[in-house]
Chain A
Amino acid sequence: MTVRDALNQALEEEMIADEKIYILGEEVAQYNGAYKVTKGLLDKFGAKRVIDTPITEMGLAGIAVGSAFNGLKPVCEFMTFNFAMQAIDQIVNSAAKTFYMSGGKVTCPIVFRGPNGAAAGVAAQHSQCFAAWYGSVPGLKVVSPWNSEDAKGLLKAAIRDPNPVVFLENELEYGVSYPMSQEALSSDFVLPLGKAKIEREGSDITIVAHSRAVGFAVKAADELAKSGISAEVINLRSIKPMDTDTIFKSVKKTHRIMTVEGGWASFGVGSEIAAQIMESDVWDELDAPLSRVTGADVPTPYAANLEALAFPDDKVIVKVARDILDKKY
């Protein structure tokens, strides 16, 4: 099943189960979604529950937040999280903080979802990764699925969670097909937020990644295995809360760690993992310092060759893993 269909299935199942859940965004209804994630849902649930809004991220996020304050459970789609910057005040100052500021009285059970990070040939204003920005905000949960099982199980969990959740999808993954277990196809299939998954077990080095980078990490692990290097790949699944227990357990085993993300290095997900390790007793287990593999610290260029150089792939991961093991850091 493709990631797109898995997301669609999750939305449909949750909307059947709870009439308070509704979807709003630009092009989500009549057009079936800019990326077809909401395909067929207007026909199934009607215009009251699948709403096409005028073009205003600030407005649609605001109206969604207001409806959540008053008892509904909106799934608010941003055509890309890059555009959600125009709504970031509603997400951070209203959705994230109001439960706390109201003394635990006003809840905001909202999901903000949409593509995050780089796509292909869409340049600087369509390619930024927001995992680190939203990951720093108390009051938000931040989720970053990789494959179809992740997409379905985590989206269902996000919709059911009473806290505001930022759900970061990836445009390039929408069309990718992954195997789905029998369990994953059932309408009760929910994955826990805040728990990472070990995609490959290993003993020589830990590779922590989220979203599309997990795919590259798995490919890199397979390549490294050919030279007898056993890499453990951790799929974070949730940015906030982050499953540091799984990371620490892995480092105790491998004594070496690298992180992989599409976002910028400065103040990124890898930086946070490095800090967490330093503050734990696991830092003493390290035989080498943590290395971050990240997007280049530039606004994403358009030219295909430059764009390819601006983001990590499996080859970069393999090289950095070898450098760590050869002590070339």
Chain B
Amino acid sequence: MDKIMYEAQRQGRFSFYMTHFGEEALLGVVAALQPKDVIHGQYREAFGLLYRGFTVEECMDQCFANVADGGKGRQMPVHYTSSKHYFQSISSPLATQIPQAAGSAYALKMRIPTQYHANDSERNCSVCFFGEGAASEGDFHAGMNLAATLKCPVVFVCRNNGYAISTPASEQYNGDGIASRGVGYGMDTIRIDGNDMWAAYNATKTARKIAVEENKPVLIEAMTYRVGHHSTSDDSTKYRDRKEVERHQQFENPITRVCNYMMNQGFWTQAEDDQYKQEVRDHVMSSFKNSQKKKKPPVKELFTDVYDTLPPNLVQQEKELERLITTYPEYFDFLDEHEKS
């Protein structure tokens, strides 16, 4: 999906995209969770959504901002939202999700039934992803400290992927990574090989148990590597050696590691791999074809959901827009691409 969508952005189909190349092992984190554990992502965790049943086509609908987008075409590409899959809305300002994850965890700890959780016998936690760069923000300190002092059942997962756009980790901090900070907050902490899917899975399984049984936060620092550019607005060849990226791809590729393991154990063959790759490629391509055909959201969605009901000024402005569209249709012919209200 990342490959196709990256190319699509380059061709001008939509404005922006971010890939996950190199960090796929963190799928293990999501696999170790319960379906109603609340995920607060940063922006490089779509594997979490896909694991929970969000489709490739739904991802593409969001990027194309078409009528099928759950966010009604309001957010930048890859800023997914799906309350059905317990995946919080992606927010652009970095690290704001960290205290928010502590907050959603606090809500879970209260054991009060809400529209999202029955909060009866089943216990849930929150999981919060962020990069080593975002961990420099004030919200990181505030969120970690609050989670620890208010005893929130949240698992923090830091994707230390070596780069924050062009800033290497060596310039992002002078201490011993992000794990050393967890200890400073009085938090159970572990550092794992972030390219090892089993490590991600097992660490999260244990962290989750600690969080829900003891009502306290846990920090997992996953050491991994960002193979792709930061986003489509970035060209990382400008600040790092191609050889470094190729070396990682050859020796530390998380997908290759899982694949080799499965083949060595006799669970998987090259023929199956080739066939599966083809199936996935076909699925992604047909999703793409379906998604890009869809119309854009109806114009009325410009005004809805600012509040629970339309305030008087927006009622007025919506009426005015309708009047203009009816009176001067030649100026609004682009609305043919939009679903009618």
| Count of A-B contacts judged by CB separation below 8 Å | 163
**Which listed residue, A19, A103, A104, touches B69 by the CB 8 Å rule?**
A103
User: Is A192 interfacial (CB 8 A cutoff)?
Assistant: no
> Using Cβ atoms and an 8 Å threshold, which residues of chain A touch B30?
none
User: Is B102 interfacial (CB 8 A cutoff)?
Assistant: yes
Q: Which of A54-82 contact B (CB under 8 A)?
A: 54, 56, 58-72, 74
Q: Closest residue of chain A to B73, judged by CB?
A: A103
Given contacts A70-B107, A72-B107, contact A102 B146 (CB under 8 A): no
- Judging by beta carbons under 8 Å apart, are A101 and B306 in contact? no
Bits for A75-118, please: 1 = Cβ < 8 Å to B, else 0. Answer: 00000000000000110011000111111111100000000000
- Judging by beta carbons under 8 Å apart, are B114 and A62 in contact? no
Q: Which of B96-131 contact A (CB under 8 A)?
A: 96-108, 110, 112, 114-117, 126
> Using Cβ atoms and an 8 Å threshold, which residues of chain B touch A187?
none
Please measure, in the bound complex, the distance between the C-alpha atom of A71 and the C-alpha atom of B89, giving whole angstroms.
15
- Judging by beta carbons under 8 Å apart, are B112 and A90 in contact? no
Q: Closest residue of chain B to A99, judged by CB?
A: B305
User: Is A20 interfacial (CB 8 A cutoff)?
Assistant: yes
Given contacts A100-B306, A102-B81, contact A70 B103 (CB under 8 A): yes
The number of chain B residues touching the other chain, given as a range, is 35 or more
> Using Cβ atoms and an 8 Å threshold, which residues of chain B touch A107?
308
User: Is A328 interfacial (CB 8 A cutoff)?
Assistant: no
- Judging by beta carbons under 8 Å apart, are A141 and B307 in contact? yes
Q: Closest residue of chain B to A18, judged by CB?
A: B112
- Judging by beta carbons under 8 Å apart, are A20 and B114 in contact? yes
- Judging by beta carbons under 8 Å apart, are A66 and B149 in contact? no
**Which listed residue, B79, B108, B313, touches A70 by the CB 8 Å rule?**
B108
> Using Cβ atoms and an 8 Å threshold, which residues of chain B touch A138?
306
- Judging by beta carbons under 8 Å apart, are B83 and A105 in contact? yes
> Using Cβ atoms and an 8 Å threshold, which residues of chain A touch B79?
101
User: Is B150 interfacial (CB 8 A cutoff)?
Assistant: yes
- Judging by beta carbons under 8 Å apart, are B103 and A62 in contact? yes
> Using Cβ atoms and an 8 Å threshold, which residues of chain A touch B99?
58-63, 65-66, 90
Q: Closest residue of chain A to B149, judged by CB?
A: A54
- Judging by beta carbons under 8 Å apart, are A66 and B40 in contact? yes
- Judging by beta carbons under 8 Å apart, are B83 and A62 in contact? no
User: Is A32 interfacial (CB 8 A cutoff)?
Assistant: no
**Which listed residue, A63, A105, A141, A241, touches B312 by the CB 8 Å rule?**
A241
Bits for B189-211, please: 1 = Cβ < 8 Å to A, else 0. Answer: 00000000000000000000000
User: Is B70 interfacial (CB 8 A cutoff)?
Assistant: yes
Query: Would you call the interface of chain A mostly helix, strand, loop, or mixed?
Result: mixed
> Using Cβ atoms and an 8 Å threshold, which residues of chain B touch A141?
307
Given contacts A70-B38, A70-B116, contact A105 B70 (CB under 8 A): yes
Q: Closest residue of chain A to B84, judged by CB?
A: A105
User: Is B294 interfacial (CB 8 A cutoff)?
Assistant: no
- Judging by beta carbons under 8 Å apart, are B117 and A68 in contact? no
* B80 CB → nearest A CB, Å: 10
**Which listed residue, B70, B75, B88, touches A69 by the CB 8 Å rule?**
B88
Please measure, in the bound complex, the distance between the C-alpha atom of A141 and the C-alpha atom of B307, giving whole angstroms.
9
User: Is B293 interfacial (CB 8 A cutoff)?
Assistant: no
Q: Which of A18-68 contact B (CB under 8 A)?
A: 19-20, 22, 48, 51, 53-54, 56, 58-68
- Interface segment out of the listed B43-51, B135-143, B323-331: B135-143
- Judging by beta carbons under 8 Å apart, are A53 and B72 in contact? no
User: Is B184 interfacial (CB 8 A cutoff)?
Assistant: no
User: Is A175 interfacial (CB 8 A cutoff)?
Assistant: no
Q: Closest residue of chain B to A86, judged by CB?
A: B138
User: Is B249 interfacial (CB 8 A cutoff)?
Assistant: no
Please measure, in the bound complex, the distance between the C-alpha atom of A20 and the C-alpha atom of B119, giving whole angstroms.
13
Given contacts A90-B96, A99-B305, A241-B313, contact A65 B103 (CB under 8 A): yes
Please measure, in the bound complex, the distance between the C-alpha atom of A106 and the C-alpha atom of B304, giving whole angstroms.
14
> Using Cβ atoms and an 8 Å threshold, which residues of chain A touch B105?
66
> Using Cβ atoms and an 8 Å threshold, which residues of chain A touch B306?
99-100, 138-139
Q: Which of B32-77 contact A (CB under 8 A)?
A: 38, 40, 69-72, 74-75
Q: Closest residue of chain B to A137, judged by CB?
A: B306
- Judging by beta carbons under 8 Å apart, are A72 and B138 in contact? no
* A122 CB → nearest B CB, Å: 25
- Judging by beta carbons under 8 Å apart, are B107 and A71 in contact? yes
* A83 CB → nearest B CB, Å: 13
Give B contacts to A, CB under 8 Å.
Answer: 38, 40, 69-72, 74-75, 79, 81, 83, 88-89, 91-93, 96-108, 110, 112, 114-117, 126, 138-139, 141-143, 145-146, 149-150, 152, 304-308, 311-313
Smallest CB-CB A-B distances: 4 pairs: A62-B99, A71-B114, A66-B103, A59-B142
For the A-B complex with A20-B112, A93-B92, A241-B313 known, give 20 more contacts whose Cβ atoms are closer than 8 Å: A19-B112, A54-B149, A56-B138, A59-B143, A59-B146, A62-B103, A63-B102, A63-B106, A63-B146, A66-B102, A69-B100, A69-B104, A72-B112, A74-B103, A94-B100, A99-B305, A103-B69, A103-B70, A106-B83, A107-B308
Give A contacts to B, CB under 8 Å.
Answer: 19-20, 22, 48, 51, 53-54, 56, 58-72, 74, 89-90, 93-94, 98-107, 138-139, 141, 162-163, 194, 241, 244
What are 21 residue pairs bridging A and B, where the CB atoms are less than 8 Å apart in the complex? A53-B149, A56-B146, A59-B99, A59-B146, A62-B96, A62-B139, A63-B99, A63-B100, A66-B97, A66-B99, A66-B107, A69-B103, A70-B104, A72-B112, A93-B92, A101-B71, A101-B81, A103-B70, A105-B70, A138-B306, A163-B307
